[in-house]
Amino acid sequence: PIYFVSSNTHTLANLLSGYALHIEDRLHEFIHEQGAGLLQKEYHDILEQNVPSSLENFLYYTLKKYESVYPETIPEHRAFEQRAGIIRVPSEHAFDIEMQVISMEQLDLQQMDQRLRVPGIEALAQSNALILNIDYPLGLASYQVLTEIARNIDEVRGIYIMGKAATLNGRIGDVMIPSVIHDEHSLNTYLFDNCFAAHDVSPYLVYGTVMDNQKAITVPGTFLQNEGYMSIFYQEGYTDMEMEAGPYLSGIYEIARPKRHPYNELVNLHSIPFPVGVLHYASDTPFSKGKNLGAQNLSYFGMDPTYATMVAILRAIIKQEVCAKK
């Protein structure tokens, strides 16, 4: 059985391996010896509880800086991940997409981020499930990757999609949870039960706001959008603009129903036999000048929504697998 996750290559691995927490003393020295002034101040404020930021998220961010200065430490990091059941599969062919395969029975429950500890988590030791984490492909590549994987596995136990999006009604760092997605590739409007609600994410989000029951639109490219075009969708209630959820839902349709997905229809996916979760974090506000998906690096404060959404996804996966083992 497989839990399919589409996200990035660092968030899930950092949370499950706990490597940054394992070398906290080294990161502590690095911050004080080579960290920029703002980095040192934020670390001090977190330790003194002057700010509500997560220490774990801060250490994950620092780890990235640490490994850019000391790349010779990366093999140690990878070996630590492998002992925790996390195997990285680099991209070798047409799709520039890294994949991670995680054996749930090998996870080190003591090392992993404590936000993931759900009641009964010890049952994972008897799990035979894998988590497949794909470095999110954009556009029709997401449909191609998902359908190809689905053809070659025994059982899909859940599909979870985390990604950046433009928000038409929020701020950078907010989290949007859609239950309606219009796909500009297939021209379908998909209605589905998103397994996440605001209360699943908000306990782990410090600076942003979580908005559920949103309507999203999957566009072919963010640079193709202009204010007049976006205003039409905004007037129709669409507030969340991104680039992969629609093709994923086309693939989910074909996994659940033995036929090709339709075109230009209203498609009801409420009866899908496994959980589907879609979480978007706002990385740009296109109604503001010069802020789009490609022009802005979320940097440190982008860690907040990224890790909040991934904590929610991993907690959902672990809870479901614990229930399956009862």
In a domain, 33, yes or no: no
pLDDT of residue 290: 55
In a domain, 283, yes or no: yes
In a domain, 10, yes or no: yes
Reported as a pLDDT band with limits 50, 70 and 90, residue 288 is: confident
Residue with the larger pLDDT of the pair 228 and 78: 78
What is the chain's mean pLDDT, rounded? 90
Question: Does pLDDT of 83 surpass 80?
Answer: yes
Query: pLDDT (tens digit, 9 = 90+) per residue, 25-69?
Result: 999 999 888 866 778 888 888 888 888 888 999 999 999 999 999
In a domain, 318, yes or no: yes
pLDDT of residue 295: 47
Query: pLDDT (tens digit, 9 = 90+) per residue, 129-182?
Result: 999 999 988 889 999 999 999 999 989 999 999 999 999 888 889 999 999 999
In a domain, 48, yes or no: no
Reported as a pLDDT band with limits 50, 70 and 90, residue 97 is: confident
In a domain, 61, yes or no: no
Question: Does pLDDT of 213 surpass 60?
Answer: yes
Q: How far apart are CA 126 and CA 320, in angstroms?
A: 14
pLDDT of residue 18: 94
Question: Does pLDDT of 298 surpass 80?
Answer: no
Six token digits for residue 105: 């029975």
Residue 107 · residue 84 · CB < 8 Å? yes
CATH number at residue 178: 3.40.50.1580
Q: How far apart are CA 125 and CA 117, in angstroms?
A: 14
Domain that holds residue 258: 2-18+84-325
CA distances from 214 to 91, 171, 240 (A): 33, 14, 7
Of 79, 84, 119, give the one whose Cα is nearest residue 105. 84
pLDDT of residue 53: 84
79 contacts: CB under 8 Å, gap ≥ 6: none
- When divided into structural domains, the chain yields a total of 1
In a domain, 57, yes or no: no
pTM for this model (two decimals): 0.93
Reported as a pLDDT band with limits 50, 70 and 90, residue 222 is: low
In a domain, 191, yes or no: yes
Reported as a pLDDT band with limits 50, 70 and 90, residue 296 is: very low
Lowest model confidence (mean pLDDT) among 184-193, 238-247, 280-289, 301-310: 280-289
Reported as a pLDDT band with limits 50, 70 and 90, residue 297 is: very low
Question: Does pLDDT of 302 surpass 80?
Answer: no
Query: pLDDT (tens digit, 9 = 90+) per residue, 119-136?
Result: 999 999 999 999 999 998
Six token digits for residue 30: 């690095």
CA distances from 203 to 12, 91, 150, 189, 212 (A): 18, 35, 33, 31, 14
Question: Does pLDDT of 291 surpass 60?
Answer: no
